[in-house]
Amino acid sequence: MSRLDSYIRRMQAQKLCLDQAARMIGRRPGPVLELGFGNGRTYDHLREHFPGRAIYVFDRQLNPHPDCIPPADLVRLGDFRETLPRFLDEAPEPAVLIHADIGTGDKIASLRLARDLTPTLVHLLAPGGLLTGDQPMNDAELEALPLPEGVQPDRYHLYRRKA
């Protein structure tokens, strides 16, 4: 499998997990958190599948595609390790979905970052809210859900906050 094949599979896994999350959440109200803006592609996908919801964006920097500029009041710039606890202090409405596409080339650093953020992410979620992303994010308060068909177990992850 080439890097092209691998990248296609990864993006299909993202798409399948986000679409599954949208189906599971349905009309239940609440905001969505997007961790890792990158090119804004998954942000655009979230806008389409979660119309009418506040989608908060977290990243060190934003280089948005012109069609894809998030409203300034929903952006939290800076390192996740600072912006997420700070956001929790804003006492925001509990999130129905957190999408954490946070990996960099450094696999170990990516795993460590996800592990360190997970408790804060759990507390940002509504009971029954969903957490999906490219890293494992295990927690006693999270239940790992079956992945959509076609997604390999190590490629993307999906959890629900226990009610």
Q: Which residues bind to ligand SAM, rule: CB under 6 A?
A: 36-42, 59-60, 79-80, 101-104, 113
Rg of the chain in Å (alpha carbons): 15
C-beta of residue 35 within 8 angstroms of C-beta of residue 100: yes
67 binds, among ligand SAM, a copy of itself, none (CB under 5 to 8 A by kind): a copy of itself
- Shortest Cβ 2–ligand SAM spacing (Å): 10
Spatial distance between the Cα atoms of 100 and 117, rounded to a whole number of angstroms: 10
- Shortest Cβ 85–a copy of itself spacing (Å): 29
Q: Does 155 bind a copy of itself (CB under 8 A)?
A: no
C-beta of residue 32 within 8 angstroms of C-beta of residue 97: yes
Tell me which residues in 58-97 interact with a copy of itself (CB under 8 A): 65, 67-68
Tokens 């460590």 appear where? Answer: 112
